Amino acid sequence: MSTAKELVDSINSTVTEFVNKTDGSIKPKATPEGMAMAYGSLVIMALIPIFYGSFKSVGYHREQRESGEQVEAMSRREAALFPLYASGALFGLYLFFKYFSKEHINLLLSIYFLVLGVCSLASVVSDFIESFLRSRNISFLRLNKYHLLLTQNTVDMLNMEFDSKDICAFMACSGIGAWYIMKKHWIANNLFGFSFAIKAIEFINLNNVVTGCILLSGLFVYDIFWVFGTDVMVTVAKSFDAPIKLIFPQDFLENGVNGTQFAMLGLGDIVIPGIFIALLLRFDVSLNRGRHVYFYSSFIAYIFGLFLTMAVMVYWKHAQPALLYLVPCCIIFPFISALFQGDLVRLIRYSEDSKEIDESSKKEN
């Protein structure tokens, strides 16, 4: 009798497993190899925009100084209040997802981020085309230049200059945008995520190391509270269907680019440390020593912090606030380097818009 019952239970279990795998209601667990590949890929994908965006920020600041324009920078007060603003926005999204239709909210957000994503990705692609043409002394795509100017009562509402390569880049990226809207494919998501991160690191200015430490410290507390103290961060991250994170399928080895089980890393965990690392690179450039000690020390610190985050997450099987590990690493490593290099005071005093400090730096040199 017991043998017959066990046989029936076995058949039922097999049929249930087959049905679940067929309709996708239950997904097989990711293999350790797949998880290792996914997390390793996320680390590499996080490093690319930080490295590229940091060097782009050096060029951007140089162009601004040469043109005589003042680079807008985040003040210490804004840095201190930023975690509060971010908390309000995060909790507002949480309430929206909890009490309203996720489909309608994600549709609006997808359209909004699609427009931003296409524009930012087109800008990145245009920069690559520019570098390619310049390295080969090719100029045929830059012959046609355009100027779009919209005014209202003698006030410029839109003043935009672009050329043929910008149009080509925009058309190509619009195609990627259409692909993202139709398929929501993770590769299209990551392309937009890359462009957001690169442009943010290039243009967001922390002109003072103290301001950077204030910002990172505030977001350190913010991340810990919203991940460990509540379910808000995890809920929003899973519900927010927009390219604000980098993702990679943990079942890539089994299903390739059509994988469905994703490991993810929020863009905030890339951009926030990234703008601080970019500041340290500009500090290296200001020292004019031909080496980037503080950039690479913070870059290595970021890698260490990211691997530590993922190791803890895998061990405890619980989402981790990445800034809990990234912030101390990105701050401590460069300061230790400055202590050994004898640049600690200089690092703390470094500013990109203070004439007095610039003059004192020239005297020291």
Catalytic residue IDs: 223, 269
Distances, alpha carbon 295 to alpha carbons 75, 126, 276, in Å: 22, 26, 9
342 exposed, middle or buried (CB, 10 Å; 0-12, 13-18, 19+)? exposed
139 exposed, middle or buried (CB, 10 Å; 0-12, 13-18, 19+)? exposed
3-state helix, strand, coil in the chain (%, to 5): 75, 10, 15
Which of 179, 177, 192, 187 has the alpha carbon at shortest distance from 256?
A: 187
Question: CA-based angle 65:48:67, to the nearest 5?
Answer: 10
- CA contacts within 13 A on the Cβ side of 256: 0
Question: CA-based angle 20:255:245, to the nearest 5?
Answer: 95
- Cα–Cα distance for residue pair 67/56, rounded to 1 Å: 17
